[in-house]
Structure 1
Protein backbone atom coordinates (compact mmCIF):
# COMPACT_ATOMS: atom_id res chain seq x y z
CA UNK A 1 0.00 0.00 0.00
CA UNK A 2 1.39 3.38 -0.95
CA UNK A 3 0.97 6.32 1.39
CA UNK A 4 1.27 9.97 0.56
CA UNK A 5 3.12 11.63 3.44
CA UNK A 6 3.30 15.38 3.81
CA UNK A 7 6.78 16.81 3.26
CA UNK A 8 8.38 20.19 2.97
CA UNK A 9 9.72 20.18 -0.59
CA UNK A 10 12.96 22.19 -0.19
CA UNK A 11 14.40 20.16 2.70
CA UNK A 12 12.68 16.82 2.26
CA UNK A 13 11.76 16.72 5.94
CA UNK A 14 8.56 15.26 7.27
CA UNK A 15 6.11 18.12 7.65
CA UNK A 16 4.85 19.60 10.88
CA UNK A 17 1.37 19.34 9.45
CA UNK A 18 -1.06 17.17 11.34
CA UNK A 19 -1.07 13.42 10.92
CA UNK A 20 -4.18 11.33 11.46
CA UNK A 21 -4.16 8.65 14.15
CA UNK A 22 -7.00 6.41 15.17
CA UNK A 23 -7.76 8.35 18.37
CA UNK A 24 -7.07 11.96 17.49
CA UNK A 25 -4.98 14.39 15.48
CA UNK A 26 -1.39 14.84 16.52
CA UNK A 27 0.97 17.65 15.70
CA UNK A 28 4.56 16.71 14.96
CA UNK A 29 5.94 20.07 16.11
CA UNK A 30 4.48 19.49 19.61
CA UNK A 31 5.98 16.02 19.90
CA UNK A 32 9.60 16.61 18.90
CA UNK A 33 11.86 17.48 21.82
CA UNK A 34 15.24 17.67 20.02
CA UNK A 35 16.31 17.14 16.40
CA UNK A 36 19.76 17.59 14.90
CA UNK A 37 21.94 16.34 12.05
CA UNK A 38 25.05 14.28 12.69
CA UNK A 39 28.50 15.11 11.39
CA UNK A 40 29.72 17.76 8.98
CA UNK A 41 28.09 18.50 5.61
CA UNK A 42 28.97 15.89 3.03
CA UNK A 43 30.75 16.94 -0.14
CA UNK A 44 28.99 14.26 -2.21
CA UNK A 45 25.58 15.81 -1.51
CA UNK A 46 24.19 12.77 0.32
CA UNK A 47 21.98 13.22 3.36
CA UNK A 48 23.42 13.20 6.86
CA UNK A 49 21.69 11.17 9.56
CA UNK A 50 19.20 13.05 11.73
CA UNK A 51 18.62 12.17 15.37
CA UNK A 52 15.14 12.97 16.71
CA UNK A 53 14.10 12.70 20.35
CA UNK A 54 10.32 12.53 20.60
CA UNK A 55 8.59 13.97 23.67
CA UNK A 56 5.56 11.71 23.27
CA UNK A 57 5.41 8.03 22.34
CA UNK A 58 2.18 8.53 20.38
CA UNK A 59 3.95 11.02 18.09
CA UNK A 60 6.76 8.53 17.48
CA UNK A 61 4.19 5.85 16.63
CA UNK A 62 2.35 8.23 14.28
CA UNK A 63 5.61 9.09 12.45
CA UNK A 64 6.46 5.38 12.03
CA UNK A 65 2.95 4.70 10.72
CA UNK A 66 3.11 7.61 8.26
CA UNK A 67 6.59 6.62 7.03
CA UNK A 68 5.64 3.03 6.28
CA UNK A 69 4.97 2.86 2.56
CA UNK A 70 5.62 6.60 2.08
CA UNK A 71 6.27 7.28 -1.61
CA UNK A 72 8.42 10.37 -0.93
CA UNK A 73 10.79 8.50 1.38
CA UNK A 74 11.08 5.58 -1.04
CA UNK A 75 11.63 7.81 -4.11
CA UNK A 76 14.35 9.81 -2.33
CA UNK A 77 16.02 6.73 -0.84
CA UNK A 78 15.38 7.94 2.71
CA UNK A 79 14.59 5.64 5.59
CA UNK A 80 13.79 5.76 9.27
CA UNK A 81 15.70 3.60 11.72
CA UNK A 82 15.71 3.27 15.46
CA UNK A 83 18.85 4.10 17.45
CA UNK A 84 19.81 0.95 19.35
CA UNK A 85 22.06 0.42 22.33
CA UNK A 86 25.35 -1.37 21.61
CA UNK A 87 24.00 -4.50 23.35
CA UNK A 88 20.83 -4.55 21.22
CA UNK A 89 22.85 -3.94 18.05
CA UNK A 90 25.14 -6.91 18.82
CA UNK A 91 22.13 -9.11 19.61
CA UNK A 92 20.49 -8.19 16.28
CA UNK A 93 23.71 -8.84 14.36
CA UNK A 94 23.86 -12.30 15.92
CA UNK A 95 20.18 -13.03 15.18
CA UNK A 96 20.10 -11.66 11.62
CA UNK A 97 21.44 -14.82 9.91
CA UNK A 98 18.61 -16.84 11.51
CA UNK A 99 15.98 -14.34 10.35
CA UNK A 100 17.44 -14.20 6.84
CA UNK A 101 17.54 -18.01 6.57
CA UNK A 102 13.95 -18.31 7.85
CA UNK A 103 12.70 -15.76 5.31
CA UNK A 104 14.42 -17.62 2.47
CA UNK A 105 12.64 -20.78 3.66
CA UNK A 106 9.31 -18.94 3.40
CA UNK A 107 8.76 -18.50 7.12
CA UNK A 108 7.54 -15.30 8.76
CA UNK A 109 10.53 -13.76 10.52
CA UNK A 110 11.36 -10.34 11.91
CA UNK A 111 13.63 -8.55 14.36
CA UNK A 112 11.97 -6.70 17.24
CA UNK A 113 14.45 -4.89 19.47
CA UNK A 114 17.04 -7.43 20.66
CA UNK A 115 14.80 -10.41 19.80
CA UNK A 116 13.78 -12.33 16.70
CA UNK A 117 10.32 -13.71 16.00
CA UNK A 118 10.32 -16.70 13.67
CA UNK A 119 6.89 -18.18 12.95
CA UNK A 120 5.66 -16.76 16.26
CA UNK A 121 8.53 -18.21 18.31
CA UNK A 122 10.65 -15.71 20.24
CA UNK A 123 14.41 -16.19 19.87
CA UNK A 124 17.09 -14.58 22.05
CA UNK A 125 20.67 -13.94 21.00
CA UNK A 126 21.92 -16.42 23.61
CA UNK A 127 19.89 -19.14 21.83
CA UNK A 128 22.24 -18.79 18.85
CA UNK A 129 25.36 -20.95 18.86
Structure 2
Protein backbone atom coordinates (compact mmCIF):
# COMPACT_ATOMS: atom_id res chain seq x y z
CA UNK A 1 0.00 0.00 0.00
CA UNK A 2 2.74 2.22 0.84
CA UNK A 3 4.48 1.51 -2.40
CA UNK A 4 1.40 2.03 -4.40
CA UNK A 5 0.82 5.16 -2.49
CA UNK A 6 4.30 6.40 -3.27
CA UNK A 7 3.82 5.46 -6.90
CA UNK A 8 0.59 7.38 -6.89
CA UNK A 9 2.31 10.30 -5.34
CA UNK A 10 5.12 10.06 -7.83
CA UNK A 11 2.71 9.70 -10.67
CA UNK A 12 0.85 12.64 -9.40
CA UNK A 13 4.05 14.62 -9.10
CA UNK A 14 5.25 13.79 -12.56
CA UNK A 15 2.99 16.18 -14.43
CA UNK A 16 3.95 18.84 -11.96
CA UNK A 17 7.60 18.30 -12.75
CA UNK A 18 6.90 18.53 -16.47
CA UNK A 19 4.95 21.72 -15.89
CA UNK A 20 7.81 23.18 -13.93
CA UNK A 21 10.23 22.42 -16.76
CA UNK A 22 7.86 23.97 -19.25
CA UNK A 23 7.52 27.15 -17.22
CA UNK A 24 11.30 27.28 -16.82
CA UNK A 25 11.63 27.07 -20.58
CA UNK A 26 9.18 29.96 -21.01
CA UNK A 27 11.09 32.08 -18.52
CA UNK A 28 14.29 31.32 -20.36
CA UNK A 29 12.71 32.56 -23.64
CA UNK A 30 11.49 35.69 -21.96
CA UNK A 31 15.03 36.37 -20.75
CA UNK A 32 16.30 36.28 -24.34
CA UNK A 33 13.71 38.79 -25.58
CA UNK A 34 14.24 42.49 -24.51
CA UNK A 35 11.64 44.05 -22.37
CA UNK A 36 9.69 47.17 -23.30
CA UNK A 37 11.86 49.30 -21.06
CA UNK A 38 14.97 47.90 -22.65
CA UNK A 39 13.56 48.67 -26.10
CA UNK A 40 12.74 52.20 -24.99
CA UNK A 41 16.23 52.66 -23.60
CA UNK A 42 17.75 51.30 -26.79
CA UNK A 43 15.65 53.62 -28.95
CA UNK A 44 16.41 56.57 -26.69
CA UNK A 45 20.12 55.78 -26.83
CA UNK A 46 20.00 55.56 -30.63
CA UNK A 47 18.09 58.83 -30.87
CA UNK A 48 20.51 60.52 -28.47
CA UNK A 49 23.43 59.21 -30.47
CA UNK A 50 21.90 60.56 -33.68
CA UNK A 51 21.15 63.88 -32.00
CA UNK A 52 24.70 64.10 -30.69
CA UNK A 53 26.00 63.25 -34.13
CA UNK A 54 23.81 65.91 -35.74
CA UNK A 55 24.77 68.35 -32.99
CA UNK A 56 28.44 67.72 -33.69
CA UNK A 57 27.91 68.33 -37.39
CA UNK A 58 25.86 71.45 -36.60
CA UNK A 59 28.65 72.72 -34.33
CA UNK A 60 31.17 72.13 -37.08
CA UNK A 61 28.95 73.91 -39.61
CA UNK A 62 28.37 76.81 -37.21
CA UNK A 63 32.10 77.05 -36.57
CA UNK A 64 32.83 76.99 -40.31
CA UNK A 65 30.12 79.59 -41.01
CA UNK A 66 31.42 81.74 -38.18
CA UNK A 67 34.87 81.71 -39.77
CA UNK A 68 33.35 82.55 -43.16
CA UNK A 69 31.25 85.37 -41.71
CA UNK A 70 34.28 86.78 -39.94
CA UNK A 71 36.14 86.69 -43.24
CA UNK A 72 33.27 88.39 -45.05
CA UNK A 73 33.04 91.00 -42.30
CA UNK A 74 36.73 91.78 -42.65
CA UNK A 75 36.32 92.00 -46.44
CA UNK A 76 33.30 94.29 -46.07
CA UNK A 77 35.15 96.45 -43.57
CA UNK A 78 38.07 96.68 -46.00
CA UNK A 79 35.75 97.53 -48.90
CA UNK A 80 33.96 100.09 -46.78
CA UNK A 81 37.23 101.75 -45.90
CA UNK A 82 38.23 101.69 -49.55
CA UNK A 83 34.94 103.36 -50.48
CA UNK A 84 35.44 106.00 -47.77
CA UNK A 85 38.98 106.65 -49.01
CA UNK A 86 37.79 106.86 -52.61
CA UNK A 87 35.01 109.22 -51.60
CA UNK A 88 37.48 111.45 -49.80
CA UNK A 89 39.77 111.36 -52.82
CA UNK A 90 36.81 112.16 -55.08
CA UNK A 91 35.90 115.17 -52.95
CA UNK A 92 39.51 116.34 -52.93
CA UNK A 93 39.83 115.87 -56.71
CA UNK A 94 36.51 117.61 -57.30
CA UNK A 95 37.63 120.59 -55.25
CA UNK A 96 40.91 120.61 -57.11
CA UNK A 97 39.14 120.37 -60.49
CA UNK A 98 36.78 123.18 -59.52
CA UNK A 99 39.76 125.31 -58.55
CA UNK A 100 41.58 124.46 -61.77
CA UNK A 101 38.42 125.12 -63.80
CA UNK A 102 38.10 128.50 -62.14
CA UNK A 103 41.71 129.29 -63.00
CA UNK A 104 41.18 128.08 -66.57
CA UNK A 105 38.11 130.32 -66.91
CA UNK A 106 40.07 133.25 -65.55
CA UNK A 107 42.95 132.55 -67.94
CA UNK A 108 40.56 132.20 -70.89
CA UNK A 109 38.96 135.48 -69.95
CA UNK A 110 42.35 137.18 -69.70
CA UNK A 111 43.49 135.72 -73.01
CA UNK A 112 40.24 136.80 -74.66
CA UNK A 113 40.55 140.30 -73.21
CA UNK A 114 44.16 140.53 -74.42
CA UNK A 115 43.16 139.26 -77.86
CA UNK A 116 40.22 141.65 -77.93
CA UNK A 117 42.44 144.59 -77.00
CA UNK A 118 44.88 143.69 -79.78
CA UNK A 119 42.08 143.42 -82.33
CA UNK A 120 40.82 146.93 -81.56
CA UNK A 121 43.38 148.18 -84.07
CA UNK A 122 41.84 146.02 -86.80
CA UNK A 123 38.89 146.12 -89.18
CA UNK A 124 37.63 143.51 -91.60
CA UNK A 125 36.57 144.51 -95.10
CA UNK A 126 34.19 142.25 -97.02
CA UNK A 127 33.38 142.31 -100.75
CA UNK A 128 36.76 143.30 -102.21
CA UNK A 129 37.20 141.78 -105.65
CA UNK A 130 39.97 139.23 -106.13
CA UNK A 131 40.29 139.87 -109.86
CA UNK A 132 43.44 141.36 -111.34
CA UNK A 133 46.92 141.72 -109.93
CA UNK A 134 46.18 144.75 -107.73
CA UNK A 135 47.72 144.62 -104.30
CA UNK A 136 45.23 144.31 -101.47
CA UNK A 137 46.82 147.15 -99.56
CA UNK A 138 46.45 149.49 -102.55
CA UNK A 139 42.79 148.50 -102.93
CA UNK A 140 42.17 149.20 -99.25
CA UNK A 141 43.78 152.63 -99.51
CA UNK A 142 41.66 153.50 -102.54
CA UNK A 143 38.49 152.43 -100.68
CA UNK A 144 39.48 154.54 -97.66
CA UNK A 145 39.93 157.60 -99.89
CA UNK A 146 36.52 156.98 -101.46
CA UNK A 147 34.76 156.61 -98.10
CA UNK A 148 36.27 159.50 -96.10
CA UNK A 149 36.81 163.19 -96.69
CA UNK A 150 40.25 164.14 -98.05
CA UNK A 151 41.88 165.15 -94.76
CA UNK A 152 40.62 162.17 -92.81
CA UNK A 153 41.31 159.83 -95.73
CA UNK A 154 45.02 160.74 -95.89
CA UNK A 155 45.40 160.29 -92.16
CA UNK A 156 43.73 156.89 -92.29
CA UNK A 157 45.65 155.78 -95.38
CA UNK A 158 48.93 156.71 -93.73
CA UNK A 159 47.93 154.66 -90.67
CA UNK A 160 47.27 151.45 -92.63
CA UNK A 161 49.97 149.06 -91.45
CA UNK A 162 48.96 145.66 -92.84
CA UNK A 163 46.21 144.54 -95.20
CA UNK A 164 45.80 140.97 -96.41
CA UNK A 165 43.13 138.41 -97.17
CA UNK A 166 42.06 135.78 -94.66
CA UNK A 167 42.25 132.15 -95.70
CA UNK A 168 43.58 130.30 -98.70
CA UNK A 169 42.40 130.93 -102.25
CA UNK A 170 39.35 128.80 -103.06
CA UNK A 171 38.92 126.87 -106.25
CA UNK A 172 35.78 127.37 -108.28
CA UNK A 173 36.15 130.87 -109.61
CA UNK A 174 33.29 133.33 -109.33
CA UNK A 175 30.97 130.88 -107.61
CA UNK A 176 33.06 130.99 -104.44
CA UNK A 177 32.52 133.81 -101.90
CA UNK A 178 35.17 136.50 -101.71
CA UNK A 179 37.69 136.20 -98.92
CA UNK A 180 37.54 139.03 -96.39
CA UNK A 181 40.43 141.42 -95.92
CA UNK A 182 41.83 142.22 -92.50
CA UNK A 183 43.30 145.67 -92.02
CA UNK A 184 45.59 146.60 -89.14
CA UNK A 185 46.12 150.27 -88.34
CA UNK A 186 49.06 151.86 -86.58
CA UNK A 187 46.75 153.97 -84.42
CA UNK A 188 43.39 153.10 -82.98
CA UNK A 189 42.17 156.63 -83.68
CA UNK A 190 42.57 156.10 -87.44
CA UNK A 191 40.72 152.82 -87.19
CA UNK A 192 37.82 154.47 -85.29
CA UNK A 193 37.61 157.28 -87.87
CA UNK A 194 37.22 154.77 -90.71
CA UNK A 195 34.78 152.63 -88.68
CA UNK A 196 32.60 155.65 -87.93
CA UNK A 197 32.77 156.98 -91.48
CA UNK A 198 31.73 153.64 -92.96
CA UNK A 199 28.29 153.77 -91.32
CA UNK A 200 25.56 154.20 -93.95
CA UNK A 201 28.13 155.11 -96.60
CA UNK A 202 26.73 155.21 -100.14
CA UNK A 203 30.00 154.25 -101.82
CA UNK A 204 30.20 151.06 -99.79
CA UNK A 205 26.56 150.21 -100.45
CA UNK A 206 26.85 150.77 -104.18
CA UNK A 207 29.95 148.57 -104.42
CA UNK A 208 28.64 145.92 -102.00
CA UNK A 209 31.42 146.55 -99.55
CA UNK A 210 31.13 146.66 -95.78
CA UNK A 211 33.43 146.88 -92.80
CA UNK A 212 33.17 144.69 -89.72
CA UNK A 213 34.85 144.61 -86.37
CA UNK A 214 37.62 142.06 -85.92
CA UNK A 215 36.14 140.06 -83.03
CA UNK A 216 37.59 137.20 -81.06
CA UNK A 217 36.06 133.74 -81.37
CA UNK A 218 34.51 134.07 -77.89
CA UNK A 219 32.97 137.45 -78.74
CA UNK A 220 31.56 136.10 -82.01
CA UNK A 221 29.97 133.23 -80.12
CA UNK A 222 28.52 135.66 -77.56
CA UNK A 223 27.07 137.85 -80.30
CA UNK A 224 25.50 134.81 -81.93
CA UNK A 225 23.71 134.03 -78.67
CA UNK A 226 22.66 137.66 -78.19
CA UNK A 227 21.56 138.19 -81.79
CA UNK A 228 17.97 136.86 -81.34
CA UNK A 229 17.35 139.48 -78.65
CA UNK A 230 18.82 142.26 -80.79
CA UNK A 231 16.83 141.12 -83.81
CA UNK A 232 13.60 141.04 -81.79
CA UNK A 233 14.28 144.55 -80.48
CA UNK A 234 14.91 145.86 -84.00
CA UNK A 235 11.66 144.33 -85.25
CA UNK A 236 9.85 146.25 -82.53
CA UNK A 237 11.39 149.48 -83.85
CA UNK A 238 13.98 149.86 -81.09
CA UNK A 239 17.55 150.89 -81.79
CA UNK A 240 19.67 147.86 -80.97
CA UNK A 241 23.38 147.41 -81.61
CA UNK A 242 26.52 145.67 -80.41
CA UNK A 243 29.62 146.98 -78.72
CA UNK A 244 32.17 144.25 -78.31
CA UNK A 245 30.45 141.36 -76.56
CA UNK A 246 27.63 143.59 -75.31
CA UNK A 247 24.26 144.33 -76.84
CA UNK A 248 22.43 147.63 -76.31
CA UNK A 249 18.83 148.61 -76.92
CA UNK A 250 17.93 152.32 -77.30
CA UNK A 251 21.35 153.23 -75.83
CA UNK A 252 20.24 151.93 -72.43
CA UNK A 253 22.25 149.47 -70.33
CA UNK A 254 23.31 146.32 -72.10
CA UNK A 255 20.87 143.45 -72.59
CA UNK A 256 23.42 141.03 -71.25
CA UNK A 257 27.18 141.17 -71.23
CA UNK A 258 29.02 138.19 -72.62
CA UNK A 259 30.73 137.28 -69.35
CA UNK A 260 27.40 137.41 -67.53
CA UNK A 261 25.80 135.34 -70.27
CA UNK A 262 28.49 132.67 -69.86
CA UNK A 263 27.93 132.64 -66.10
CA UNK A 264 24.20 132.21 -66.63
CA UNK A 265 24.82 129.33 -69.04
CA UNK A 266 27.18 127.61 -66.59
CA UNK A 267 24.61 128.07 -63.84
CA UNK A 268 21.88 126.52 -65.99
CA UNK A 269 24.22 123.67 -66.87
CA UNK A 270 24.87 122.92 -63.18
CA UNK A 271 21.15 122.97 -62.41
CA UNK A 272 20.50 120.58 -65.29
CA UNK A 273 23.14 118.13 -64.01
CA UNK A 274 21.71 118.32 -60.49
CA UNK A 275 18.22 117.46 -61.76
CA UNK A 276 19.61 114.48 -63.67
TM value normalised by structure 2: 0.37
Q: Determine the C-alpha separation between the residues in 2 that align with 1:69 and 1:105.
A: 21
Deviation at residue 28 of structure 1 after TM alignment: 2.7
- Which structure 1 segments of 5+ residues have no match? 1-9
2:226 pairs with 1:91: no
2:253 pairs with 1:121: yes
Question: Counterparts in 2 of 1:53-64, with a 5 A limit?
Answer: 53-64=184-195
Deviations 1:53-93 (A, max 9, x none): 11101110121133222222111111101111111011100
Q: Secondary structure at the match of 1:63?
A: helix
RMSD (Å) for aligned C-alpha atoms: 2.7
- Which structure 2 segments of 5+ residues have no match? 1-131, 269-276
- Other-structure match for 2:156: 28
Deviation at residue 14 of structure 1 after TM alignment: 4.1
Deviations 1:80-109 (A, max 9, x none): 011111110111001000011111122221
Give the alignment partner of residue 40 of structure 1, picking from 169, 182, 201: 169
For the Cα contact (< 8 Å) 1:26–1:59, is it kept in 2? no
Q: Determine the C-alpha separation between the residues in 1 that align with 2:140 and 2:201.
A: 12
Of residues 61-70 and 84-93 in structure 1, the stretch that sits farther from structure 2 once superposed is 61-70
Q: Which structure's CA Rg is the greater one?
A: 2
The structure in which a higher percent of residues are helix is 2
2:204 pairs with 1:76: no
TM value normalised by structure 1: 0.73
Q: Determine the C-alpha separation between the residues in 2 that align with 1:79 and 1:112.
A: 17
2:240 pairs with 1:109: yes
Deviations 1:32-66 (A, max 9, x none): 11111223166107642111111101110121133
For the Cα contact (< 8 Å) 1:19–1:62, is it kept in 2? no
